A and B are shown apart, each in its own frame.
Chain A
Amino acid sequence: MGHYVVRRLLQAIPLMFIISIFLYGLVNLAPGGPLAGRGSSKRLNPEQIAILKRQFGLDKPVCVRYVYWLIGNDWNRPVGEITKPRAGIFTPIIECLDPRSYLNAESPGIGKGVLRGDFGNSFRTRKPVLDTIKTSFKNSAYLMSITLVVVAIIAIPVGVISAVKQYSIFDIIVTTLSFIGQAIPEFWLGLILILIFYVWLKNPLTGDSLLPPGGMYTQGAAFSLIDWTKHLILPVTMGVVGWVTWYSRFLRSSMLDVIHQDYVRTARAKGLTLNKVYFKHALRNALLPLVTIFALDLPYIFAGSLYVEILFSWPGMGRLYYQAAIDRDYPMLMAILTLITLVVILSNLLADIVYARLDPRIHYD
C-alpha cells in the first residue's frame, strides 16, 4: 500500500502540471479581462492600459506569464532593451520559444511562484490571494463539514430502513421525498426557507424572526453557541436536502444488494436479531461504495457551495470564486482552481486507500 500511495503521489505531480497549463490557458484566454471598465467612463487609452498591464503583469505573453506564475520572476535581472519580433500571426509562438521573452527589460520581478507557495496578488485588492483564501476556506470548511456530517446522520438510517422495509409506506414516502428533494432547485429552496423561517415565523417571546436570513453570527454581539447554531440551520438545511436524497437512495440500493446475499441469510439463520444482522453485518458492507463517494465529495469542503453562500451571505469559497470570475481576477482564480484540483486529486487517492482498507479483496500492490 505504501508503494501504491507513493506512486500515486508521484503520478499526481505531472497531472497537476498538465492541469495547471490547461487552467492557466482557459482563465487567461477567456473573453473579457481584468481591465474592462477601469478608468472613469472606461476612457483609459492604450498608454494608460499599458501601465496597468505592467502593474498586473499582463504585459507578457501568456506562456511567459505561466512560467512566472509557476516559478516566479524574482530570479530575473534587468537586461536592458529587448528587441521584439515583428508582429505577425506566429508572434505569440515565437515569443514563447524565445528565451529573451522570459527576461525583464527594466526591473526584476518580485513573484516567487506557486512552487514556492506564492500565488500572487489579487487584481481586486492587490494583496496576496492566499491570505484571502485562508479566511474563506475556514468559513466554507466550517459550513460544509457540518453539512456533510448532518447528511451522514440522516442519510444512513433512512437508506437502511428504506432498504430493509422495501416497498413499505416508509419506503414509498422516502422515495417520493427523495425525488422531490432532487427535483427542487437549490436556490428556490433557500428562498422558501428564508420566507418561512425569517419572514413568516416569529419567536413568540421576542417577536423577532425565528431564524436569521444569513451570515455566520450576529455582528457585534458576544459569542453565543445558540447564535452560531441559529445561523447554521438554514444554510445547512439547504445544503443537506440534495445530498441526503442522493446518499439515501444510493445506500438503499447498496443495502438491497447486500441483504439478499448468502451471508446475511446465514446470519439470520443463526438466530441473530434483525438489528444486528442489518446494522452490524449488512450495513458495513453496504457502506463500502458510499465511503468512496463520500471521500470524493470531500472537495466540496474546500470549494464551498455558491448558491448557499450567496443566498445566506456566507463568506466562503464559492462567493470568492464567483467574484474572482466576474472580476477576471486571474491570480485569485488560478489559486482557487489549483487548490481545488489538488484537493480533488488527494480525495481520489483517499477514496482508493479507504476502499482498500475496508475491503480486504482489494489489493493495489
Chain B
Amino acid sequence: MERIIGQLLRFGVVFSSAVVLLGALCLLPQHGRERVAFADFRPAPEEFRGVSGAIHAAARKNCRGVIQLGLLLLIATPIARVAFSLAAFAVERDWIYVCITFVVLAILLGGFFYRQ
C-alpha cells in the first residue's frame, strides 16, 4: 500500500506540473505583452472556476484553461490518494478504516463540488 501511494502521489505531481508548464509555454508567447494587475482583486473569470469550465477552455486550446486543468489535476492528486486508500482498506477488510476513509472522501468531494 505504501509503495503504490508513493507512486500515485509522485505521478500526480509530475503529471500536473507538466500540464501547468505546457499551459505556461502556450500562455507566455501569446499573452506575454499583456499587462498584469494583481494589486486589485477581481475574481478569476467564471469559466476557470470549475471542472467543466476548465476542461472546455483547455479543449479550445485556451492557455489559461490548460493551466487551470493542470491545477485541477494537482488538487485531484490527494483526493485520488484517499480514494485508493479506501479500496486498499476494503481489500484488507478493515471496515473501521473503510468508514473513516469514506468520511474523508465525502468531505473532500463535498468541498470540491459544493455550489454556493
The answer to whether A and B assemble together is: no
Q: Footprint of A on B, CB under 8 Å? A: none
Q: Footprint of B on A, CB under 8 Å? A: none
